[in-house]
């Protein structure tokens, strides 16, 4: 069973081997792809697909995702500063046999 089979009903595979998708399948697949592009997991996408009329629940899920994204951004910004400082220390290094970045990792 593929990931998509868990969150949308796939048309049966006929003897010819080629599934025929109708507009509903295409719309569902577009929904899934857009939600995945926004960072939602397949489990979250499945939940979103069942909440279409409940804006408060969708908003809550969106706010949870936004909080997670902001936390990841903060972590990445801290890493950016650390690595920037490390590369700056390389610029100031005059010892060709010693690398401040490697030294800091040891």
Question: Burial level of 45, CB count in 10 A (0-12/13-18/19+)?
Answer: buried
Tell me which residue of 65, 76, 9, 63 sits closest to 41, measured CA to CA: 65
pTM for the model? 0.68
Residue 5 is predicted with a pLDDT of: 52
Find all residues with CB under 8 Å of 28, minimum gap 6, and list them: 8, 49
Q: How far apart are CA 15 and CA 57, in angstroms?
A: 42
Overall residue count recorded for the chain in this entry: 106
Contact 61, 49 (CB under 8 A): no
Confidence of residue 14 (pLDDT cuts 50, 70, 90): confident
Is residue 4's pLDDT more than 70? no
Is residue 73's pLDDT more than 80? yes
- Residue 32: CB atoms within 10 A of its CB come to 20
Q: How far apart are CA 33 and CA 17, in angstroms?
A: 24
Residue 21 is predicted with a pLDDT of: 83
Is residue 39's pLDDT more than 60? yes
Residue 8 is predicted with a pLDDT of: 73
């Amino acid at each position: 069973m593929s990931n998509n089979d868990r969150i949308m009903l796939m048309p049966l595979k006929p003897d010819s081997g080629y599934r025929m998708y109708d507009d509903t399948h295409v719309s569902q697949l577009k929904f899934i792809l857009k939600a995945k592009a926004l960072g939602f997991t397949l489990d979250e996408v499945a939940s979103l697909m069942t909440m279409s009329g409940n804006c408060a629940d969708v908003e809550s899920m969106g706010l949870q995702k936004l909080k997670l994204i902001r936390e990841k951004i903060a972590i990445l910004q801290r890493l950016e500063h650390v690595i920037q400082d490390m590369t700056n220390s390389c610029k100031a290094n005059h010892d060709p046999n010693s690398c401040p970045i490697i030294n800091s990792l040891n």
